[in-house]
Every structure is written in structure tokens, then in C-alpha cells.
Amino acid sequence: MRTTTRAVLAGVCSATALAIPAAAPATAAPYTPDPLLQINLFNPILGGSITVTVLNFATGELIDITLNGMDLPLGTLQAKSDGTATGVVMLPKNVLCEQTLTATGRESGSVATSSMLIGGLNLCGAQTATERTLEPTLLAAPSTGSGTSSPAVATAAAAGLAVVAGAGFLARRRKSYRY
């Protein structure tokens, strides 16, 4: 009887080994960080200037700096070989309170934004500043994948399940024998 059990187990293991395809080497796309837009003043004066720095754009790419999606850019920067660019832009004299500055790469379409309060509390009121203090910007949760597993993972899981089931079968068979 022991020979039969060993033969069955050997057959299950052989079938499992044949059913598992050879795994292809894992490859990952290179990490590309999200573009960033940094400004030197979050509360600039009405009609003032701010220094803008962009990071993680394509080398040599032209980057338009706009305010709240205005058609005309406040300025255009060109990314250096490390993907960064810095420049000074003048703010319009007719725009105040909470505004969003946007940097858009012309070729890549990459977008980065930064918020600011033009004019300060004396022009925008304390309520706006309080709301900004009490409601911090929420960052998006990191993506954990598409929710589907690869065939290699599914096959490995099935093989593991077969091994555990085979071990359980053997343990049960051994208990039933009395020596």
C-alpha cells in the first residue's frame, strides 16, 4: 500500500511540475517621478512676481506657466538636461485670492500645479485663509495595481495548493494505518 501512495504522490508532483510554465524574467518600467511645480511665495502681492521652479519634465521640453487655465501663459520655461527649470513670472494685476498656477509640458503633456493666495488676507478676507488652514490638501493614495494577478502568480498559487493538499492526503493516510 505504501508503494501505491508514493506512486500517486509522485504522479501528482510530476503533473504539477509539468503544468507550471517556466516563469519569464520580471521586468519593470523605469521609475518616472511625477512633475512638480514649486513657487517661492504662497501669498504674493497683487501684480507681483514669483519665482517658479519645475522638476521632472523631459529634457529640453518647453513648459508653459499659466494661472487658472488662462489661454495666455505667464511665461515659458525650458527644462535642462536634469528635467528642471527656474524662472520669474509676473502675476496679473486683476487676479486675486486663491489661484492655481499650472506648469504644462508642450511635448509630453505633463502637468504640475501649485496653489497660492494672491493679495493676502487684507484683500481676500480671513475666511478664505482659515478654510485653507483647516482643510489641508489631500494627496492621492498610491496605486497598488490593477487588481488582476498575473498568470505566473496564479499558477504558483495553484501549485502551492496542490502540494499542501498532497501533504494533507499523506498525513491522513498515515493516521489510518495501524502498525
What is the per-residue pLDDT for 36?
94
3-state secondary structure 78-122: ECCCCCCEEEEEECCCCCCEEEEEEEEECCCCCEEEEEEEECHHH
Does pTM top 0.85 for this prediction? no
How large a percentage of the chain has pLDDT more than 70?
Answer: 55
- Pairwise CA distance, residues 116 & 41, whole Å: 8
- pLDDT bracket for residue 145 (50, 70, 90): very low
Number of compact structural domains in the chain: 1
- Pairwise CA distance, residues 111 & 104, whole Å: 5
- Specify if 176 maps to a domain: no
The arithmetic mean of pLDDT across residues 2-20, rounded, is: 61
Name the nearest CA neighbour of 132 among 147, 113, 116: 116
Position 90 pLDDT exceeds 90 = yes
Instruction: Provide the CATH number for the domain around residue 44.
Output: 2.60.40.1930
- Specify if 6 maps to a domain: no
Q: Degrees (nearest 5) of the Cα angle 173, 178, 179?
A: 115
Q: Which of 98-102, 106-110, 171-175 bottoms out in mean pLDDT, i.e. has the lowest?
A: 171-175
Average pLDDT, the chain: 74
Position 73 pLDDT exceeds 60 = yes
Q: Domain residues for 62?
A: 36-126
- Specify if 146 maps to a domain: no
What is the per-residue pLDDT for 34?
92
- Specify if 149 maps to a domain: no
Name the nearest CA neighbour of 133 among 117, 114, 112: 117
Q: Which of 14-28, 88-102, 112-126, 165-179 bottoms out in mean pLDDT, i.e. has the lowest?
A: 165-179
- Specify if 107 maps to a domain: yes
The arithmetic mean of pLDDT across residues 23-37, rounded, is: 78
What is the per-residue pLDDT for 4?
64
Question: If you search the block for the grid coordinates 509640458, which residue do you land on?
Answer: 105
The arithmetic mean of pLDDT across residues 118-134, rounded, is: 62
- Specify if 116 maps to a domain: yes
What is the per-residue pLDDT for 86?
97
